[in-house]
Amino acid sequence: MQKKGTNWRLEPSQAENKVILYIYDDVTEYGEFNWQTWNYDDSETSAKYFAEKLGEIPDGQTIELHINSNGGSVKEGVAIYNLLKQKSNHKIGIVDGVAHSVAFLILQACDERKMCLGTTALVHNMWMHCAGNATQLRKYADDLDDMMEANRQVFLERASITEEELTTLMEAETYLTPDKAIEYGLIDEIYGKKSAAPQNEKELMEKLSQMQCQLNSQQSFREQIAQLKENKKNQGGNKNLLAMFQGIAQRG
């Protein structure tokens, strides 16, 4: 039977002193069921497998994590997030396709969080399969509320929005473009997006000169208005003085 291609890879790049990791599948604790052994295969996107591979990366090497995943197990994803946080290596996370649900949470462990053009992220409230009586089901709902509160703290550590705003986004199951994600402080950079070319020094000096001319014109205009007011006031005084002399002359 042909072995399925790996969904999680670790590629050393000695020239750049970095290790490239890929999470290109759902995050799961167990792999597929093996009908030959009647057991589940090991998952290459589990926290256990991730811990083993991270242990092979020496200190000082940059970790570059590439993500294209719809998410998966919250338990496994949160553990992977914390495993990454505990590594002292500099970590760069890049979304190559999608980073939905807990996959987007994993990205938050990276020192540099990037989304490529055309990619999306998804934030939403977690859900679970459950069964039981009314009391047990109500407890499951309360447990989910507590888990979501803990989950939001991961994003709020670096987000530029409030917890209330984040809660609204999650309740609405919101897809985020790179522009929205960077606006909310959930990523740091849009990978591959060209920024506006900086203006050269000559252009800046010309703009500063134009602004100075405008300011000087405004100042001159204000001075002219003030002078007109003063002249009008003086003219009014002269008229009053002339009227007074005319009255004296008539009485005399």
- Is residue 6 very low, low, confident or very high in pLDDT (cuts 50, 70, 90)? very low
User: What is the C-alpha separation between 45 and 40, in angstroms, rounded?
Assistant: 14
Mean pLDDT of the chain: 84
| Count of other CB atoms within 10 angstroms of residue 167 | 16
Helix (H, G, I), strand (E, B) or coil at 27: strand
Token pair, residue 95, equals 């979304």
Question: pLDDT tens digits, residue range 22-68?
Answer: 999 999 999 888 898 888 888 889 999 999 999 999 999 999 999 99
What is the CB-side half-sphere exposure of residue 196 using CA atoms within 13 A?
3
Question: pLDDT tens digits, residue range 150-186?
Answer: 999 999 999 999 999 999 999 999 999 999 999 999 9
Task: Give me the residues paired with residue 11 across strands.
Answer: 20
| Phi and psi, residue 21, nearest 5° | -115, 150
Instruction: Calculate the alpha carbon distances from 196 to 49, 73, 193, 199 in Å.
Output: 42, 40, 10, 9
The bridge status of strand 8-13 relative to strand 18-23 is antiparallel
Asked whether the beta carbons of 49 and 10 are under 8 A apart, the reply is no
Chain centroid offset of residue 110 CA:
12
Residue 197 above 90 pLDDT?
no
- Is residue 1 very low, low, confident or very high in pLDDT (cuts 50, 70, 90)? very low
Question: pLDDT tens digits, residue range 124-142?
Answer: 998 888 899 999 988 988 9
DSSP string, 106-174: HHTTSSEEEEETT-EEEE----------HHHHHHHHHHHHHHHHHHHHHHHTT-SS-HHHHHHHHHTTE
- Is residue 4 very low, low, confident or very high in pLDDT (cuts 50, 70, 90)? very low
- Is residue 9 very low, low, confident or very high in pLDDT (cuts 50, 70, 90)? low
pLDDT recorded at residue 210: 77
Asked whether the beta carbons of 102 and 74 are under 8 A apart, the reply is yes
Which CATH number among 3.90.226.10, 2.40.50.140, 2.60.40.3680, 3.10.180.10 corresponds to the domain 8-191?
3.90.226.10
Residue 209 above 80 pLDDT?
no
Domain extents in the chain: 8-191, 200-252
Task: Give me the residues paired with residue 13 across strands.
Answer: 18
